[in-house]
């Protein structure tokens, strides 16, 4: 089975303290550390396991800049066979649809049986997977937490629904799936693993390689635009407890007691 996984380089939520920048339209990115979008790791792990069982190969692609190469290498250290970096100045400022169009252009050049994406990434929109499927006219299943291969034409995919129930759906290949965390336990990638793939050639493709019109992607093609980015005002009834951890705990206990919570 030929599997392609779309991945993204994002600020790591575990290792950063997020603050807004001076202009108030984005995060302050000076001191941030980046890693692979968490959901994407699960997608890549699932692809590797499927290929281990059924044969084939795993390709990882990302839309980004030169620095995005590191996330491709990390996924290749996990066991992905190939990586493709889609980078071009013209891609900058793409909205979700723009990203999907870029991915679609590359996906069409190969012959993949299965396209995986993470269920969502840092911006929380969770839109690219569905758009890619629509553009390719492929069937799509979102929030997938289980995959069973039936044959080379069909697979069964599962999704957790309200109340902890599980549903299973049959879906025809080729298709696009967005992968939920918890579908597997992604393997560890150490520094040694990354070094082993440090010299593997990763092709970089731009607008002309993909046969795209520069005006249809990036800023020029974007039809949605971020107009604001802020920490919501504290609503009525919200109160921030301040002080050292012990003081905060003390105050919290007092409040709980005062209001009959304890």
Partner 1 sequence: MSSIIGPASYKLFGFFPTAILSFIVPVIGIGLFVYIMARRIAPLVRAAPDNRFDRIDLRIKNLLVIWLGQFRHPRYMLAGVLHIVIFAGFLILSIRSTSLVVIGLADGFVLPGFGGLLGSVYNFIKDYAATFVLVACIIAAIRRGIYKPNRYAVPEKLGKDHTAEAVFVLGIISTLMISESLFEASELAYAFQATGQTHFLAPLSLVWIFKGMLSSVSLEFLQGTHIFMYYVHDLSFFFFLCFLPMGKHFHVITSVFNVFFMRVQKGNIKPVQHGIKDEELDNLESFGVKRLEDFTWKHMLDFYSCADCGRCSDQCPANAVGRPLSPRFITIKARDLMFKNYPMSGEIYKSKLLVEDIFTEDEIWSCTTCGACEEECPLGIEYIDKIVDMRRGMVDEGMVPQSLQKPLKALEKRGNPYGKMEKKRADWANEKEFKAHHTIKDLGKDTADTLFFVDSITSYDDNIQEIARRTSIILERAGIDFGILGKDEKDSGNEVLRFGEEMLYQDLKAQNTEVILASGVKQVITADPHAYNALKNDYTGLPPVRHISQVVAEKIATGELTLKDCQDPDQVYVYHDPCYLGRHNGVYEDPRQALDAINGLTRVELEKSRDRSFCCGGGGLMLFYEPEEDTRMGVLRVNMAAEAGATVIVTACPFCLVNLQDAIKVAGKEGQIVALDFTELIEQHLI
Q: Which residues bind partner 1 (CB under 8 A)?
A: 12, 14-17, 31, 33, 35, 78-79, 185-193, 195, 244-245
Smaller CB distance to partner 1: residue 69 or 219? Answer: 69
Alpha carbon distances (Å) from 122 to 12, 34, 86, 93, 126: 9, 11, 19, 15, 9
Report the nearest approach of partner 1 to the CB of residue 67 (Å). 14
Alpha carbon of residue 74 to chain centroid:
14
What's the rounded Cα separation, in Å, for the pair 74 and 60?
10
In angstroms, give the least distance from the CB of 43 to partner 1: 16
| Phi, psi for residue 134 in degrees, rounded to 5 | -65, -45
What lies within 8 Å, CB to CB, of 197 at 6+ separation is: 73, 76, 77
Q: Which CB atom, from 125 or from 248, has the smaller least distance to partner 1?
A: 248
User: How many beta carbons lie within 10 A of that of residue 181, not counting itself?
Assistant: 16
Contact between 97 and 16 (Cβ < 8 Å): no
Q: Do you know the residue count of the chain?
A: 262
State which residue, 30 or 66, has the beta carbon closest to partner 1: 30
Tell me the backbone φ, ψ of residue 157, rounded to 5 degrees.
-125, 150
Q: What are phi and psi of 261, to 5 degrees?
A: -75, -20
C-alpha to C-alpha distance for 80 and 74, rounded to whole angstroms: 9
Sequence-distant (6+) residues with CB within 8 A of 216 are: 98, 101
Please give the Cα distance from 105 to 88 (Å, whole number): 14
For partner 1, the closer of residues 159 and 187 by Cβ is 187
Least distance from partner 1 to the Cβ atom of residue 182, Å? 10
Contact 103/130 with Cβ under 8 angstroms? no
Query: At closest approach, how far in Å is the CB of 213 from partner 1?
Result: 38
Measured from the CB atom, the residue of 35 and 68 that comes closer to partner 1 is 35
Nearer to partner 1, 17 or 137 (CB): 17
Smaller CB distance to partner 1: residue 156 or 195? 195
> From the CB of 233, what's the least distance to partner 1, in Å?
26
Least spacing, CB of residue 155 vs partner 1, in Å: 25
Distance in Å, CB of 192 to partner 1, minimum: 4
């Amino acid at each position: 089975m030929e599997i392609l996984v779309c991945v993204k380089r994002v600020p790591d939520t575990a290792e950063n303290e997020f603050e807004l920048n001076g202009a108030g339209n984005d995060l302050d990115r000076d001191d941030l550390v980046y890693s692979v979008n968490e959901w994407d790791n699960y997608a890549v792990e699932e692809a590797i396991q499927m290929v281990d069982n059924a044969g084939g190969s795993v390709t990882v692609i990302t839309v980004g800049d030169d620095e995005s190469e590191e996330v491709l290498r990390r996924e290749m250290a996990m066991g992905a066979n190939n990586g493709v970096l889609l980078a071009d100045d013209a891609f900058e400022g793409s909205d979700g649809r723009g990203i999907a169009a870029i991915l679609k252009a590359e996906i069409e050049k190969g012959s993949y049986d299965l396209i995986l994406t993470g269920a969502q990434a840092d911006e929380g929109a969770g839109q690219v997977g569905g758009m890619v499927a629509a553009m390719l006219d492929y069937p799509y299943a979102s929030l997938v937490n289980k995959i069973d291969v039936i044959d080379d034409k069909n697979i069964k995919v599962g999704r957790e629904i309200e109340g902890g129930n599980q549903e299973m759906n049959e879906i025809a290949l080729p298709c696009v799936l967005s992968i939920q965390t918890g579908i597997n336990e992604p393997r560890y990638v150490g520094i040694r693993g990354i070094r082993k793939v440090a010299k593997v050639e990763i092709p970089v493709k731009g607008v002309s390689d993909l046969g795209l019109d520069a005006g249809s992607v990036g800023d020029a093609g974007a039809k949605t635009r971020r107009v604001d980015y802020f920490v919501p005002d504290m609503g009525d009834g919200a109160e921030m407890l301040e002080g050292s951890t012990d003081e905060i705990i003390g105050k919290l206990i007092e409040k709980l007691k005062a209001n009959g919570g304890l």
